[in-house]
A and B are shown apart, each in its own frame.
Chain A
Amino acid sequence: MNTLAHAPTLTPRAAFRRPGMRWSRDELIARAVLLAVMAMLFVFLVAPLASILAHAVQDKEGRFVGLTHFITYFQTPSLLRAAWNSVWVSAAVVAISVPTAFVFAYALTRSCMPVWLKATFRLIALIPLLAPSLLSAISFVQWFGNQGALKFLLGGMSIYGAPGIILAEVYNTFPHALMILVTALSLADGRLYEAATALRTRPLRQFMTITLPSCKYGLISASTVVFTYVVSDFGAPKVIGGNFNVLSVDVFKQVVGQHNFSIGAVVGMLLLLPSVISFAIDWVVRRKLKAQLTARSVPYRPKPRKLADALLLLFCVGVCGLLLATIGMAIYTSLITLWPYDLSPTLKHYHFVLLESDMAAAYFNSLEVAAITAVAGSFIVFVGAYLIEKTRNLGLMRRTMHMMAVLSMAVPGLVLGLGYVMFFNHPANPLGFLYQTMAILVISMVVHYYTSSHLTAVTALKQIDNEFEAVSASLKVPFIKTFFRVTVPVCLPAILDIGRYFFVVSMASLSCAIFLYTPDTILASVAIMHMDDAGDIGPAAALASLIVVTSTVVCIVYSLLTRVLLSRTQAWRQLGRG
């Protein structure tokens, strides 16, 4: 009563209630779904990592032993050497791959080559993305191995070991570095060059003072991505590494070969270290990259420079030649009887893979996993990104979700797989039934490739108006309806991109699956590794080629489908341009 007297406009209930927004049904649904996505990332990313950490400090009976395993590890010279090998080989790959990709990217963005040539070069340069990392290793074995076509070029040196790994990884990482550097180089402000020319600055000085500094972050980013890729890659060193030990192969040997989970966990932690560091650098750098270009920048248009253009063209032809020679050798190997003794063309390897052995099952398993990952992955990723981008007042939830979404990139597939073995194989885990199923393979793919897809989705979502949800609420339309009627159609190109990405990467992925497959759920990339181990190079090359062909066909079909779909559903886009 007194309150009423003092403040007549305050209703007593409101006066005594603690302030807090009442949640509508919509907001409850949004939070519930977001919690489900977060729970998935927690159970399938954070918990397995924690499980590795736990194994690293426990003995076989589960007693806490502190840093004993780490000490053992560091006192074993052979193990320690693997760590050093990993580091220097990765550094060497960075030193070759990044400068090459930079010149290539420079040619694509800053030269006056015909557009169709640039497009062709670009397509050829992206081919390595379609193949498992094993393929390039197999190919280099064919070129430079004991019976290699060009073995004489090595002059007695063996390809098995560091040289082979470096060659194969340069091939594998080239498109990754190229994509980043093309982006960095296309973000040029043409006005800067005009100002420099007006000040009579020589081309070389323009390059040193404008071009290079503007790509600084791109170069750092590309280097960290390449470094991380090589440190955590398993396929190439397994095939062409010989007795040359690296961390990733060591994890495999410790866990699968010797069942030494404790040392495996320690190596896993070490494997995580460079990834996390380079990932952190990359993250900081990427933020700066964004702020570089202002809305007032004018895109750079290259002017013809005869000599430079010709040299760049020559360079691109050379690089593309090498890339094609690599993939070409793998395909060639799959089409001849037996290198180097019987070069007669044959389809018997394909026949063997698809009809005579159980490798067909592996191929179809891979197809199945890739297809399900594409559909489920793009759905989960997009819904998760949508909810954290467009839901109000999430506070801590938003930050936690974003951190987990971004963490996945820092975790090598091998480490993730190892975490799954330790976490889901644990007898007390109620989710243990997932172990040894196709489902866990799909989940591991979704989680392992979560970050890039998440960032693609976030970028697309940031481009659409932030107030759609507010408008819907004011019109009393549930946000789910607006999501399906507006947000999804508007973001369809990005969603389709995410789906294709998931398909291609899970089709070729090896490191994630190597700990998780069973004879029933074996994937093509694992099968290739086994065949290579057994010396069945022909069938291995055939299966690898099949993966490349499948991914290529899927990409082509995808882009055709996308075009048809977009022309049907995106009439508003075309009209806007006209």
Chain B
Amino acid sequence: MTTPPLDGPRPKGRLRWPFTLRIETRLDSPRGLATWVSIGAIGVALLLGALVLRLVGGDPWQAYGHIARAAFGDLGVFSDTLVKATPLILVGLACSVAFRMKLWNIGAEGQFYMGALGASVVILSGLVPESASRPVTLTVMLLAGMLFGALWGLIPGWLRARLQVNEIITTLMMNYIAIAFVNFFVFGVWSEGGFQMTATFQRSAWFPRLSDFADQWPGLRGLTTHFGLVLGVIASAIVWFLLYRSRWGYEIRLVGDNPKAAEYAGVNITRNTILVMMVSGALAGVAGMSEISGVVHRLQTAISPGYGFTGIIIAWLAKLNPIMVVPVSILFGGLILAGREIQPAGVPRLIQGIILFMLIASEVLLRYRIRLVRVAAEG
């Protein structure tokens, strides 16, 4: 694997710049290089974003300053940031698991909606009576959310495994279908007085919040961070263990790195494809359930400002490492929280796009190095 030097013979007799850029394949990978390259890429992305904001007549530094203050400025807003980070952790994990096997699940958004629907069905259909205790109610909601999300992952997973149907497009199409499906239930079945929301769930269907404990610890008053964050952190530990310490995770990573070798080693690719898509869907479903139970306390339209898509960027930025998904999600949670108030409305999305672009463009620096070398004197 060598790349030929770019400096070929050139016409003689003219004065030339005595150095040339040379691109060489990296044989080593210095410790920490990947991290620094990622940080550099984000820095460049933020500068580019600032440039665009400047060009459309905004004040980028004010906008960035506002984002930083409105997301991490004090304990209250940081708690809100964590609320936004909670679904992001779970969808980020959903994407990481699937991407690790090179399954492009772009459908976390739809699986999120289905998870929310599943959690709502058990409450609104009366499957869980109002008198049921909180742990029972929440457990049933969680399982229903996982089930609905997993089902939404199963369909494209099965199509991919059995019929070789491209999962990128099917998962994406399933997003639109899920959102229309949820809208049907919100408007047509459970609408509360004609509004685009259902009735509020009973208290036993709400995740506990930090502010619920303000009686014992007054410092927690007004903090909205809910139990979903704990679920997210637990999930990231479980996913890390599954991927890096279990036989199944080894199989997934092997398929992702080298499907031929995995097949020769006897890995059942069909079964793993379906399983991974279901696990991925279930994680995104938990995100939807957690948002319903921890934040909105009912089912309504537009419960996600594109969490499922941000999950893709988070997974990539975390290099598909489940542990890294947590801090990256907190950063993006801040961006989404603070970005809500920024005009024009597309700014957070634009910045996310630029960050992802810079990240993948910067990966070339991990594989190659660019050196300035002296041009050899021509004999």
A binds B: no
**B residues bordering A, Cβ < 8 Å?**
none
